[in-house]
Chains A and B, each alone.
Chain A
Amino acid sequence: MKKNRSEERALALAVMASLWLAAGVAAAQAASPDANGPEATSGPPPGAPGGPGGSTAKGPSGPPALPPPNVHALIGSWSVVQSPKTTPVPPAGRYPLTPEYEARRAAMQAKDEAGGVIEGRNNRCIPSGLPDMQTFGFRIEANADYLTIIGGTGPTIRTVWLHRRQHTPSKLLFPSFGGESLGHWEGRTLVVDTVGLDPTNEITYGMASNDPDLHIVERFRLLSPTRLEVVSTLESKVALTRPYTYKYLYGRVQFNGEEEYCQRPLVNNELDLTPPSGGYIPPGADR
């Protein structure tokens, strides 16, 4: 029974997404929506009359632009199908790191090549936070006011506000694993701007940003009902010499209801080999 309802829901979402996709294509012919990456923008700027959230702006010629896609097309579970990450240490030059951070990267690489284990916050069951929380996939839920993105260790649960246009003043903003995220539509792309991230959040595995002003802009774009592209740009005056942009591709998967939490912290970055109580213990065993 549960499986049939899930299948029906997936089919309904796919139909909705298909209708949206068709509408998006029509809008593309009328008013130059974003279709080719982070540099291209489309539509009225945020806050302008007829801006994202319910645009009725007309294109330069032809019929009025269609409303931007509904966030409900993004609802569902997404699993990574294409990732720029290398595990566990990115190669030299992959990130535009400052000299201090490049030295850290090099030390991590040397440790990894010597057979050591890189310590990531996940090992201690500390929530991943952004950006790491979306490395392998995530789940999106939504209502009229915000998206909820659930992913990573913890799990981390982040909120993307859809109708706010101003971040909380920095003197009132406190750090969190998911940060403060504001989303707006640019054509077919949901652009999410995040600040207020905990400085211990890792920008790459095992490397905390140590930057309370880390700024992340993500561009969520459905390529098809079952493919989601997320292009992220990190900005940090502490860790990076320039903004760093990378892309993830996710495939839609069926939500399995599996609880996500860190059940067993590692011990010295290694599997905790303390057995549970009970079970069969043969003669002669120490434990």
Chain B
Amino acid sequence: MRTTVSSLRRLALGTLAGLACSSARAHHSYAMFDTTKEESAQAVVRIWEFSSPHAYLWVYVNDASGKPILYGLEAPGPNQLVRAGWDRETVQPGDKVQVKWNPLRTGKAGGSLTALTLADGRTLSVGGPPNAAAGSVGGPDPAAPGPGK
């Protein structure tokens, strides 16, 4: 079963995650996802595609009648995911998980993956730290010359 949370906080988090994920966002607009909502459900993994520029998690979520419905959830690319603690073996086919995602605006069974809770209780989000070799993206530049230089 799915639950939905609508809040500006979700929008902010989704936007920040999207901005941090610079390479993935370059491929298409995220407008297809409703980043003001976050759905959550118990699911079983069909397959985890640890691929670039996007990873994809395919899971089955039972509908109200108990029928498994396949959801396709897009995630950032592997480099960002690795920084957030994911890897190729994070999940295996048949694993029982809890997933959170920003749904497709059309209502179809898919969305943008935001977080995953594994059977052992660990929760992984897709945001992770920004990709920066020096300074933080969007923050003050520690290497900038001072006044008068």
Query: Residues on A close to B: CB < 8 A?
Result: 10, 14, 21, 25, 79-82, 87-88, 112, 115, 117-118, 120, 122-123, 125, 128, 135-137, 151-153, 205, 223-227, 251-254, 256, 258-264, 266, 269-273, 275-276, 278-287
Contacts and interface: CB of A to CB of B under 8 A. Distances in A.
B31 interface: yes
Contact of A79 (B51, B104, B131, B144): B131
A88 B143 CA distance: 32
Interface in B49-91: 49, 51-54, 56, 58, 60, 66-70, 72, 74, 77-79
Given A224-B143, A280-B45, A280-B94, A258 B23 contact: yes
B6 to A, nearest CB: 14
Interface string B129-144: 0111111011001111
A280 B46 contact: yes
A136 B44 contact: no
A225 B104 contact: no
Contacts of A115: 105
Contact of A279 (B46, B79, B141): B46
Contacts of A278: 47, 93
A226 B133 CA distance: 9
A160 B149 CA distance: 30
Given A136-B26, A137-B23, A263 B54 contact: yes
Interface in B76-124: 77-79, 93-94, 104-106, 108-111
A49 B22 CA distance: 42
Contacts of B132: 79, 251, 253-254
Q: Tell me whether chain A's interface is mostly helix, strand or loop, or mixed.
A: loop
Contact of A25 (B67, B69, B149): B149
A258 B72 contact: no
Given A259-B52, A263-B51, A280-B44, A223 B110 contact: no
Contact of B22 (A79, A87, A120, A283): A79
A256 B131 contact: yes
A122 B29 contact: yes
Nearest to B47: A279
Q: Tell me whether chain B's interface is mostly helix, strand or loop, or mixed.
A: loop
Contacts, number: 168
Q: Contact size class for B?
A: 35 or more
Contacts of B23: 136-137, 258, 260
Contact of B60 (A87, A225, A282): A282
Contact of B143 (A120, A123, A226): A226
Contacts of A153: 26-28
28 contacts: A21-B145, A25-B149, A79-B131, A87-B31, A88-B29, A112-B31, A120-B29, A122-B26, A136-B25, A226-B141, A226-B142, A253-B132, A254-B133, A256-B79, A258-B52, A258-B53, A260-B53, A262-B28, A263-B53, A270-B32, A271-B108, A271-B110, A275-B47, A275-B70, A275-B72, A278-B47, A279-B46, A280-B94
Given A224-B144, A275-B70, A10 B133 contact: yes
Contacts of B143: 14, 224-227
A260 to B, nearest CB: 6
Contacts of A135: 26
A8 to B, nearest CB: 12
Contact of B72 (A136, A252, A273, A280): A273
Given A14-B134, A253-B131, A285-B70, A137 B26 contact: yes
Contacts of B72: 271-273, 275
Contacts of A284: 66-68
